[in-house]
Amino acid sequence: MFANYLIGLREGLEASLVVCILVAYLVKTGRRDRLTPVWLGVGAAVVLSMAFGAVLQFGSSTLTFQAQEALGGSLSVIAVGLVTWMVFWMRRTARHLKAELQGKLDAALAMGTFALVITAFLAVGREGLETALFIWTAVQATDDGVRPLVGAVLGLLTAALLGWLFYRGAVRINLAKFFTWTGAMLVVVAAGVLAYGFHDLQEAGWLPGLGNQMFDISSTIPVDSWYGTLLKGVFNFQPDPTVLQVVMWAVYLLPTMAFFLRRAAAPAPAPAAAAPVADSARS
């Protein structure tokens, strides 16, 4: 549940920051009449994300077991790739997010109403699709459709609240540090998703070694215990992983985390602002 809360919070905060900047910029420049296209784009992106999640859930339920495992494993690998890209991209651009989005908004305003709809749609839709895919893979991995969804919804609601507080100027936060810490945690989560994805591909018969276990500590950490459930929900921990699972977990986690932390420790080219969107919108 915590892992899904984290992905909902992070992805939702990215989207809410974008919407916050768009709305604040339009309000402060006296263009309130252009707010409707922004909300239309946001609404369309939300509907698309929900529809994508529904297609994944109900479409996969009609497949055979092998096909379900193959689909789940493949999408897990894709989800890890998207989350990894998102983690590095957001950490790199967090300090300059406001200026970058205002440049795009100026261009959209010059092109007209439809461009505003597309700008808001693309900004929110990307995070929405990534969230839907990642949450779906988490649901498949835990075989529990309730807690992952609850965690994701709580994360999204928290992100929406933070976005509103940013807009009102009530909260200031160092976004660069926030995305660095959450990014490091998501790298660990993604490693577990990747390992489980490879297990799915083994169960589908796409990869060998399903019966070749690295270790089995099921008696020490039962999967139905509270701590086993916690480890499963946060890290996708499995007490009896295959050799391939452990190898892929280590191959992804160690170099990715080392590269992420090394870049995070590098000096910034310019002083970091306390919060790119801290300016309150004024009527």
Q: Range of 260's domain? A: 2-265
Could you tell me which of 98, 119, 121 has the C-alpha nearest to residue 24? 98
**CA gyration radius for the chain?**
20
Asked if the model's pLDDT at residue 282 lies above 60, the reply is: no
Average pLDDT (174-201) is 84
In one letter, which amino acid is 49?
S
Asked whether residue 73 is domain-assigned, the answer is: yes
Q: If you average pLDDT over residues 24-51, what whole number do you get? A: 82
Asked, for residue 283, whether it belongs to a domain, the answer is no
Other Cβ atoms closer than 10 A to 65: 9
pLDDT of residue 201: 94
Cα–Cα dist 37/116, whole Å? 6
* 68 occurs within a structural domain: yes
Model pLDDT, residue 241: 93
Give the span between the Cα atoms of 183 and 253, in whole angstroms.
12
Give the separation between CA 236 and CA 2, rounded to whole angstroms. Answer: 11
Gap between the terminal Cα atoms of the chain: 39
**242 three-class SS:** strand
Q: Could you give the number of structural domains in the chain?
A: 1
- Which residues lie across from 213 on neighbouring strands? 242
% of the chain residues with pLDDT over 70: 74
- CA torsion, ordered 250, 137, 52, 69, to nearest 10 deg: 100
Kindly state whether residue 277 falls inside one of the protein's structural domains: no
23 with 167: CB under 8 angstroms? yes
Q: Which amino acid is at 217?
A: I
- Rounded Cα–Cα distance for residues 190 and 104 (Å): 31
* Tokens, residue 106: 């100026």
**Cα distance between residue 268 and residue 270, in whole Å:** 5
Average pLDDT of the chain, as a whole number: 77
Helix (H, G, I), strand (E, B) or coil at 213: strand
Answer yes or no: is 36 within a domain: yes
Tell me how many degrees the CA angle 239-243-249 measures, rounded to the nearest 5: 75
| 130 lies in some domain | yes
| Sequence-distant (≥ 6) Cβ neighbours of residue 277 within 8 angstroms | 17, 20, 21, 24, 97, 98, 166, 167
The answer to whether residue 258 sits within a structural domain is: yes
pTM given for the model: 0.69
Q: What is the mean pLDDT of residues 78-91?
A: 81
Residue 78's pLDDT is 87
Inter-residue contact 142 to 234 (CB < 8 Å) = no
Whether the pLDDT of residue 195 is over 50: the answer is yes
Residue 244 placed within a domain: yes
pLDDT exceeds cutoff 50 at 272: no
